[in-house]
Structure 1
Amino acid sequence: MLSMTCLYNQTVKVAATVDKDGFEETKAKRQADSTDAISSFLTRRFGIAGGLAWLGFLAVGSLGKQLKTRWEVAEAEKGTQEVTSTAQVEITLPSGVRYTDLRVGGGQSPPRGYLVVVDYVGKANGIVFEDTKLRGKPIVYFFGGRPFTAGMCEGTEQVLATMKAGGKRRVYVPASLGFGSQGAVLRPTEHVPDKQGVVPPNSDLEYEIELVRVSIPPS
């Protein structure tokens, strides 16, 4: 069995092809969860254990410049500040999306194309359709990628763009910037087989979003 360091080194050698064989393939097939897409190439190369190990590196943090170093994580955590209830202010964007900072992150904001790790609770018309924290499995995807994945939408992208790693926001998204008249179904995936959330058509959305990590993409 490959050691973790050996697996990482081999992963870097093939990472340049992940976008073509993973992310672009996801676009073509319009898969529901890009976490599977990111790991699909590595799973084919190294087997299930290898693909899951790579996701473990993303979600937990590990070796090399692909991910944040322990020092960077410590610095981000040091700059993170909780916002007291009396200091919380709701901001309305020109699009109609509203958000309130619950925690201001001390890390990096996500440039388009970077990998992000996100935990969130999503509600449609007041009913929970996804809770990644309860499941213990945050979503991992390329920020700014299309199609939107795992319950994310235009409204959440607008909010995440100005967040910093470690931050948390309460977000309101009108249906027009959510899933519109089509609604959405969060289908089970290889890594989250119990996923089954449903967003009815024309639903206004509420989120509590935490930007856990921002990492440079494989290159």
Structure 2
Amino acid sequence: MRIAALLATLLIALGLAACGEEKTSDIPDGDETTAAPAAPTETEAAATPDKPKVEKGEGKPPTKLETEDLKKGTGAEAKDGDELTMQYVGVLFDDGKEFDSSYKAGQPFEFTLGEGMVIKGWDEGIKGMKAGGQRKLIIPADLAYGAEGSPPDIPPDTPLIFVVDLEKVN
């Protein structure tokens, strides 16, 4: 008798659950067609999914800033006063030891170009990049951290190499 009462209660609960509200989720069931995601706007580019590998420098250390576009962007061009959203990896020129990375931090880096918020090599080397682009910056010590360095990771008078991805220009 007790089992019959328990079974009846269970059946009633299941029946009431089946009478619940209709599904209102916006998530498609798989048989519905979905629109393609919107393309990046002119000032924004898709995030770079993979952390780039940055090799140590070759030959003599640089005496002036060197830039190389690894991928040309198609979005807005970065100019002084623009707020930029970047991903980056930085290594020491001499041995390729990574000292910093936005990927390691888990989020992009934001700053205003041309306002001295970053090392001079960035302010000069990123100017003119377009959103969606990837650029290699080989920065002499005087446009990086100079004679002071940035202890403990960057010794004095050390040239640096960055690979930067410009995700967004505001």
Instruction: Please classify the TM superposition score into its range, dividing by the shorter chain length.
Output: 0.5 to 0.7
Gaps of 5+ in 2: 1-37, 47-62
Higher radius of gyration, 1 or 2: 2
Q: Summarize the alignment of residues 87-98 of structure 1 with structure 2, pairs less than 5 Å apart.
A: 96-98=64-66
Which residue in 2 is equivalent to 1:211? 166
Question: RMSD between aligned alpha carbons?
Answer: 2.4
Normalising by structure 2, report the TM-score: 0.60
Percent of residue pairs bearing the same amino acid type: 26
Change (3 A) 1:75 1:174: closer
- 1:137-185 alpha-carbon deviations (Å, 9 max, x no partner): 1111111112x3xxx4111221110111110011211111111101125
- 1:46-89 alpha-carbon deviations (Å, 9 max, x no partner): xxxxxxxxxxxxxxxxxxxxxxxx666278659xxxxxxxxxxx
- Larger mean Cα displacement after TM superposition, 166-175 or 135-144: 135-144
Q: Is the 8 A contact 1:76 1:106 kept in 2?
A: no
* Larger helix fraction of residues: 1
Which residue in 1 is equivalent to 2:129? 163
Q: Summarize the alignment of residues 54-203 of structure 1 with structure 2, pairs less than 5 Å apart.
A: 73=41, 77=45, 96-124=64-92, 125=94, 126-146=96-116, 148=117, 152-185=118-151, 198-203=153-158
| Number of residue pairs aligned between Structure 1 and Structure 2 | 115
Runs of 4+ displaced beyond 4 Å? 74-78
- In 2, the alpha carbon distance for the partners of 1:144 and 1:74 equals 21
Displacement of 1:118 after TM fit? 0.9
Change (3 A) 1:139 1:77: closer
* One-letter code aligned to 2:156: P
- Aligned to 2:41, the other structure's residue is in SS state helix
Normalising by structure 1, report the TM-score: 0.47
Displacement of 1:123 after TM fit? 0.9
- In 2, the alpha carbon distance for the partners of 1:180 and 1:71 equals 41
Change (3 A) 1:209 1:98: same
- In 1, the alpha carbon distance for the partners of 2:163 and 2:154 equals 16
Displacement of 1:198 after TM fit? 2.2
